[in-house]
Amino acid sequence: MFTLPLSFSVMSAPTLTDFVLANTTLAPVPLVPEVLLHSAAEAMDLWELTHHDQPPFWAFPWAGGQALARHLLDNSGLVRDKKVFDLASGSGLVAIAAALAGADSVTANDIDPLALAAVELNAVANVVTVSTLGGDQLDSDAHGADVVLAGDVFYDAEITALVLPFLARAAARGALVLLGDPDRAHLPHDRFTAQARYEVPVPLTLESTETRSATVWRA
């Protein structure tokens, strides 16, 4: 959930796609080897190339997203034949897992144009259809989705405060809301119910460890 510098904001779609391809390698996701992602090998080098104050979230399979993607593929009835909305999609890992699990339609939302380019590339690599939607959608109702998904969104207090009302509204109107989170400090545990827990292989350069525990929560 962040804004790109002007140089990236005005890039054309082919240029964004070229940037993703030039700085990533297609590889299976550790906990979800059924899914291939264009992933970067080293966070800091790519981060410097983006000239941005936040990491390139779209270039790595984060722990919460991996756990949520695994959960969807192992419990496909959660999304099968449903309309799915994936908030802050990043690489599109969770959205792609929902599509592979049989969702009727999947929308991947992110405010980062590079993330949307990565999602499109990753969807093609996994032979699934995922629609991308840019811009801040936190004031929306997730476009009427039956299932609302969010991986790794509680990394920051300010972002958490913005995301929680969106998730609460979706749950209140009857949507199934599922979250993936690796015990980030800002997750309000009392507002969610744990569904499953996974030990997730993660990039050492990102997490300073090779494995993190991550929980799938239901609102």
Class of domain 16-218: alpha beta
**Which residues in 37-52 are b (16+ Cβ under 10 Å) and which e?**
bbbbeebeebbeebeb
* Amino acid 2: pLDDT: 33
**DSSP string computed for 101-130:** TT-SEEEEEES-HHHHHHHHHHHHHTT---
pLDDT in the model for residue 9: 47
Q: How many CB atoms lie within 10 A of CB 67?
A: 31
Instruction: Tell which wins on pLDDT, 206 or 104.
Output: 104
Q: Which residue has the higher pLDDT, 3 or 29?
A: 29
The per-residue pLDDT for range 7-51, each reduced to its tens digit, is: 444 456 669 999 999 999 999 999 999 999 999 987 767 877 876
Q: What is the pTM of this model?
A: 0.91
Q: What is the pLDDT of residue 10?
A: 46
Q: Which region among 45-49, 123-127, 166-170 has the lowest average model confidence (pLDDT)?
A: 45-49
Average pLDDT, the chain: 91
Least Cα distance to 60 among 41, 33, 47, 87 occurs for: 41
Domain boundaries of the chain, sorted by first residue? 16-218
CA distance 15 to 21: 10
Please answer whether residues 49 and 212 qualify as being in contact, where contact means their C-beta atoms are separated by less than 8 angstroms.
no
Specify the pLDDT at position 49.
81
Q: What is the DSSP track for 67-79?
A: HHHHHHHHTGGGT
